[in-house]
Structure 1
């Protein structure tokens, strides 16, 4: 059964997404905040605030915080009410989608990796995995090239997938599906029933083919003239 979009679900996604990226995370009522590591602002702290279907009061409060600190971000999951005119923001990233899948019935065995590639798994605490696919000497590109990667974290019965990426030199070789299946087999070591991820516009077709369902739009806002690099939630570094 597809879960409903609510604050608890978004809180779970934020926890898993932050875990996969080594971000500090803080939950304060309906406001979820992640400190984006490796991103610098004038005050040295680039916080991203995440709200699920925010009401006008919470949206205005967080919008004022973002507008007053260029480099900080507001991410809205769901359809937000209009941004207050006295606290202007601009959309920095659109077209992303929170998606969900039933993990029951997913293959618990790691898929067979073609001889042109090899898989490396790194296990991290608490409960997340990094998968890297590299080429072998059997591939036309030669040995040792990073072809694809992805991450997944287990959080409160959910598997949160993140940074599913394929190198442009290795696309259309089935690696996106391979990474997703391999990550699913890893995270099923834990008691997870549903999968969550935020998909880019380009990635939504792949995930739809793999059985994922669209749940809610994801939009990232910043202060006017904010030029924050890569504010998306689905892309690799």
Structure 2
């Protein structure tokens, strides 16, 4: 498994492929990614994790933009990070995490009766979709392999189809697809709810994730 700071670069590289964002720009403190959405024109990502995150770097990243809705991602405890941000930064997404796993070839769970799994690849991204007997959406996810690493992204299960093992089915399909393309490790960013699924299929927490959004120019 790569070092924790290397996992941040893995996540940035895979996330831009998964979401169709611009290639990351390397900064002294991490990375800037131009996303191109009205509510997220771009994001700054600190390159260090946990105790490696320094106040000076967070402040420099935060001061490098005045654009409304620009995002900031820091892989350290919010209690440490938030006091370093100015009043123009609004936190969101309490309790998020960076997680990682080694990709080991294993047999995935069987698709439950009454469901169908489909996978396809486009633009470097492999997508997995589970539908019910009527063809309605049940669960989905995608993975972006970038060499030895891969980013798992946008895992979702419909409320009416939860607790039936569909998340495990999707994750197994994505793990297999990434491993087939040569990836040996995977990373993702998740919510507290998602963490339960990922730990159940072998992932571990690397660091907490602090999220903030810029409110726009002040004064």
TM-score range, shorter chain: 0.7 to 0.9
1:36 & 1:13 partners in 2: Cα distance? 15
Cα offset, 1:84, TM superposition: 3.8
- 8 A contact 2:74–2:81 mirrored in 1: no
- 8 A contact 1:20–1:162 mirrored in 2: yes
| CA RMSD after TM alignment | 2.4
2:23 & 2:159 partners in 1: Cα distance? 32
In structure 2, what is the equivalent of residue 129 of structure 1? 126
In structure 2, what is the equivalent of residue 48 of structure 1? 43
How many aligned residue pairs are there? 210
2:85 & 2:166 partners in 1: Cα distance? 45
1:92 is the counterpart of 2:89: no
Change in 2 beyond 3 A, CA 1:178/1:56: same
In structure 2, what is the equivalent of residue 114 of structure 1? 112
Cα offset, 1:225, TM superposition: 8.4
**Higher relative strand content:** 2
Q: Please give the per-residue CA displacement for 1:74-123, whole angstroms capped at 9, x wherever unaligned.
A: 1111345564465652312221111111212x32x565323411122121
Change in 2 beyond 3 A, CA 1:225/1:178: same
Change in 2 beyond 3 A, CA 1:82/1:168: closer
Q: Residue 182 of structure 2 aligns to a residue in which SS?
A: coil
Change in 2 beyond 3 A, CA 1:145/1:175: same
Q: Please give the per-residue CA displacement for 1:167-221, whole angstroms capped at 9, x wherever unaligned.
A: 1111111101111011111111122221211121111111111111111011111
**Higher relative helix content:** 2
Unmatched runs of 5 consecutive residues or more in structure 1: 137-142, 227-237
Misfit runs of 4+, over 6 Å: none
Q: 1:152 aligns with which of 123, 143, 148?
A: 143
- 8 A contact 2:112–2:164 mirrored in 1: no
In structure 1, what is the equivalent of residue 7 of structure 2? 9
- 8 A contact 1:134–1:144 mirrored in 2: yes
Q: 2:207 aligns with which of 212, 216, 220?
A: 216
1:129 & 1:182 partners in 2: Cα distance? 9
